[in-house]
Amino acid sequence: MAEEDPIDDYELYVKLFTQHESQLRNFARGLVPTWHDADEIVQEVALTAWKKFDQFEVGTSFIKWVCVIARFKALSYRRKMARDRLSFGENLIELMADESIDELDQRQNEYEALELCLKNLPERQRIWVKLAYTPGITTAEVAERAGVKAGTFYMRLNRIRKALLQCITARLKGEGLA
């Protein structure tokens, strides 16, 4: 990284990071118990990756590079986590991270298929998904707002996610990508 011109580097960094941010969050989600934890990891990676951006070789895979950083962040995050959190152990985090790095393309294909599958979802189910994935609000609150018990809410959500996964798998099979 050209030390005399940090602004240009910064623009490149922001461009790369923005481009790969959802892939990174996706990767982090597989290692830690909740979205919130994944957000924390992404936030930490964003800072560390910028700090170490001079070590990044332009032309190599940026997403793989930040995923490796995320792997270490997840491990140290795990060590700081309250003991009573239901989090994967370090062995499993390592396994999941190493296997995830080989699946980045597949995840990207799934993400694209998901966009199409969501379009075909019945309106009511789309509203459920939207409710469930509104940040900053707990499931109990969402369930209350939707007028159902939390158990019912999860059940519907599970069903919708299952349907979406089937749709994604079917689409990718159709395209010969899975």
Partner 1 sequence: MSEDLTAQELKWVEDYCNETITPEEFERFEAAMLKSPSLRAATRQYLALDANLRSSADLPEELEDAWTAETTGKVVRFPRWIPIAAAAAVAFFVGILLDGIFRSDTNSVSEETVADVPEVTAEGYAVVHGLVDAAAQGGLELRVGEMLGAEVLDLTSGSARIDFFSGAQLYVEAPAKLEVVSAWEATLHSGKLRVKVPPAARGFVVESNGRRIVDLGTEFGVDTSSEEVRVEVFSGEVELEDRKLTEGQAVALRGDGETIPIGSSIESFSNLFGVSKGFSDTAKRAFEVWKKSSEALSEDPRVIAYYPFLAEPSGEADRVPSGLYPQDGELDGAAILTEWVDGRWGGLKSAVEFSQPGSRVRVKIPGEFSAYSFSCWARIDSLDRQYNALFLSDGYEDGEPHWQIHQDGRMMFGVMVDETRPEAARDGLTKITGLRAARSYYTPQIWDMSMSGQWIHLVSTFDPANRRVAQYVNGELVSQHKIKEGYVIDQLRIGNAEIGNWGQPFRKDPEFAIRNLNGRIDELVVFKEAISAEEVKRLYDQGRSK
Chain positions 11 to 40 lying near partner 1, rule: CB under 8 A, are 13-14, 17-18, 21-22, 25-26, 28-30, 33-36, 38-40
For position 48 contacting partner 1 by CB under 8 A, the verdict is yes
In terms of Cβ atoms closer than 10 Å to its own Cβ (0-12, 13-18, 19+), residue 71 is: buried
Least distance in Å: CB of 2 to partner 1? 16
Least distance in Å: CB of 68 to partner 1? 15
Diameter over CA atoms, the chain: 59
Q: E-assigned strands of 6-89?
A: none
How many residues bind partner 1, per CB under 8 A? 72
For position 43 contacting partner 1 by CB under 8 A, the verdict is yes
From CA 71, how far away is CA 76, in angstroms rounded? 9
The residue among 64 and 162 lying less far from partner 1, judged by its C-beta, is 162
Nearest to 13 by CA among 47, 41, 40, 38: 47
Residues of span 63-122 touching partner 1 by CB under 8 A? 84, 86, 88-89, 91-92, 95-96, 99-100, 103, 107, 110-111, 114-115, 118-119
Q: Which of 58, 61, 64, 152 binds partner 1 (CB under 8 A)?
A: 152
* Torsion angle in degrees (nearest 10) through CA of 146, 148, 154, 158: -80
Place of tokens 């459920």: 128
Q: Which of 137, 144, 175, 177 binds partner 1 (CB under 8 A)?
A: 137
Using DSSP, state whether 5 is helix, strand or coil: coil
